[in-house]
């Protein structure tokens, strides 16, 4: 590739004039310069730069899912980009340690000047949540206003529109539903699997019953959990039951998508399923890292603010703590593990099917 662009200087390429002149401390403006406000600004700018990068990766992945319907040649790329997002999330978590070198007393030197600015006003963060698949109705209510109230009106509109289109969650669900091999001709896989799960749950129940040390109360509680699992599992194969369990919030994915996710995970060693398995793992990792970040952030807020309200007028830390779990996107994959059975008890795939799951060149 030839080009006629002038030679490049590092300083101009990175637009360092703009980047490095964007730290105007409010405290200095007011005439009481606080040393640590620079850290406060820079760390948030770094967060926003990483959010931009996360959105760049997420959009590209979303696009491959929605537009290209995930050709097999794209699988490695999608997984690599999800894993990159994971590495960025680890940084976001570790970064909190740097912020915590600012003590609450240091923060007080400029905290009041910032009112009512708040992390709740980060548009990119909200975009990230919405694009991943967080729905307004799933959000933990905070004050009587919608979560978009803190944002500029153009940003608020953009989010509302974004929420109407397919999220990554929707795209993944759609992709799972298109998984081939869920109908395995005359090999009655799902019936065999259901029997194996029933056996497993029955064994669990026997274990609990025979373990006297648990005490009657605890035994009863455990048996209840097992029965619920049994019901959850049954509902996975009955369309009407399933819709009920979806309405009450047990599941978010469709029945077909859940079947596919189960199949991919238990037969993950089959060549054609190896990358789909990694993709699911990468999603689970990402969801977990996001959750860990939310909680870590909440703990930091508690330390920094005590029981005081945040800079944006919120008693943020309790809200943040509760949202860590509530705002997870891919919880279904965690719940699904309840129904995994040991590999030794998995139905053996007929060789005709195994062939289908392999590479062309080895099957010739």
Q: Of residues 221-240, which lie at the interface with a copy of itself (CB under 8 A)? A: 221-222, 225-226, 228-229, 232
Q: Which of 68, 69, 112, 352 binds a copy of itself (CB under 8 A)?
A: 112
Q: Does 188 bind a copy of itself (CB under 8 A)?
A: no
Q: Does 340 bind a copy of itself (CB under 8 A)?
A: yes
Piece in contact with a copy of itself (CB under 8 A), picked from 130-138, 171-179, 236-244, 267-275: 267-275
Question: What does 282-342 look like in DSSP terms, one character per residue?
Answer: HHHHHHHHHHHHHHHHHHHHHHHHTTS--TTS--HHHHHHHHHHHT-S-HHHHHHGGG---
Q: Does 165 bind a copy of itself (CB under 8 A)?
A: no
Q: Which residues in 325-358 are b (16+ Cβ under 10 Å) and which e?
A: eebbbbbbbeebeebebeeeeebebeeebeebbe
Query: CA-CA distance, 152 to 145, in Å (whole number)?
Result: 14
Nearest Cα residue to 168 out of 274, 277, 286, 259: 286
Give the x-and-dash track for 29-48 against a copy of itself (CB under 8 A).
Answer: xx-x--x--xx-xxxxxx-x
230: which 2 tokens?
């049994």
Q: Does 177 bind a copy of itself (CB under 8 A)?
A: no
Piece in contact with a copy of itself (CB under 8 A), picked from 156-164, 235-243, 251-259, 311-319: 311-319
- The answer to whether the CB of 12 falls within 8 A of the CB of 3 is no
Minimum distance from CB of 160 to a copy of itself (Å)? 18
Q: Does 76 bind a copy of itself (CB under 8 A)?
A: yes
Nearest Cα residue to 91 out of 338, 293, 298, 349: 293
Piece in contact with a copy of itself (CB under 8 A), picked from 19-27, 165-173, 185-193, 234-242: 19-27
Cβ-based burial of 37 (10 A; exposed 0-12, middle 13-18, buried ≥19):
buried
- The answer to whether the CB of 297 falls within 8 A of the CB of 290 is no
Residue 213's H or E segment, with its range, is: none
Task: Give whichever of 66 and 341 is closer to a copy of itself, judged by the CB atom.
Answer: 341
Minimum distance from CB of 76 to a copy of itself (Å)? 4
Q: Does 10 bind a copy of itself (CB under 8 A)?
A: yes
Minimum distance from CB of 318 to a copy of itself (Å)? 10
Piece in contact with a copy of itself (CB under 8 A), picked from 89-97, 158-166, 185-193, 253-261: 89-97
Q: Does 69 bind a copy of itself (CB under 8 A)?
A: no
Query: CA-CA distance, 100 to 104, in Å (whole number)?
Result: 9
Task: Give whichever of 170 and 354 is closer to a copy of itself, judged by the CB atom.
Answer: 354
Nearest Cα residue to 291 out of 317, 318, 326: 326
Q: Which of 69, 157, 178, 303 binds a copy of itself (CB under 8 A)?
A: 303
Q: Does 90 bind a copy of itself (CB under 8 A)?
A: yes
Minimum distance from CB of 139 to a copy of itself (Å)? 15
Task: Pick out residues in 119-148 that bind a copy of itself (CB under 8 A).
Answer: 119-124, 143-145
Q: Helix, strand, or coil here: 5?
A: coil
């Amino acid at each position: 590739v030839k080009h006629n662009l002038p030679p490049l200087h590092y300083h101009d390429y990175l637009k360092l004039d703009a980047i490095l002149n964007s730290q105007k401390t409010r405290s200095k403006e007011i005439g009481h310069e606080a040393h640590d406000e620079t850290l406060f600004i820079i760390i948030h700018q770094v967060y926003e730069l990483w959010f931009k990068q996360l959105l760049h990766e997420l959009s590209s992945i979303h696009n491959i899912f929605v537009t290209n319907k995930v050709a097999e040649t794209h699988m490695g790329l999608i997984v690599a980009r999800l894993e990159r997002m994971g590495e960025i999330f680890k940084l976001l978590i570790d970064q909190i340690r740097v912020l915590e070198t600012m003590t609450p007393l240091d923060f007080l030197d400029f905290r009041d000047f910032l009112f009512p600015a708040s992390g709740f006003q980060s548009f990119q963060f909200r975009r990230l949540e919405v694009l991943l698949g967080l729905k307004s109705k799933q959000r933990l209510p905070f004050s009587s206003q919608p979560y978009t109230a803190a944002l500029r009106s153009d940003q608020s509109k953009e989010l509302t529109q974004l929420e109407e289109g397919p999220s990554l969650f929707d795209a993944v669900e759609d992709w799972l539903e298109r998984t081939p091999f869920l109908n395995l001709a005359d090999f009655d896989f799902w019936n065999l699997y259901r029997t194996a799960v029933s056996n497993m749950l029955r064994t669990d129940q026997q274990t609990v019953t025979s373990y006297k040390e648990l005490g009657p109360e605890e035994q009863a509680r455990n048996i209840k959990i097992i029965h619920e699992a049994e019901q959850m599992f049954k509902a996975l194969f009955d369309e009407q039951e399933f819709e009920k369990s979806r309405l009450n919030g047990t599941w978010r994915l469709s029945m077909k998508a859940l079947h596919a996710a189960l199949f991919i995970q238990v037969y993950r060693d089959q060549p054609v399923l190896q990358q789909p398995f990694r993709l699911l793992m990468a999603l689970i990792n990402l969801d977990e890292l996001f959750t860990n970040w939310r909680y870590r952030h909440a703990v930091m807020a508690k330390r920094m603010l005590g029981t005081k309200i945040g800079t944006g007028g919120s008693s943020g830390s309790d809200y943040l703590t509760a949202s860590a779990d509530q705002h997870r996107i891919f919880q279904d994959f965690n719940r699904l593990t309840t129904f995994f059975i040991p590999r030794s008890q998995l139905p053996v795939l007929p060789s005709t099917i195994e062939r289908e799951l392999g590479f062309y060149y080895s099957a010739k």
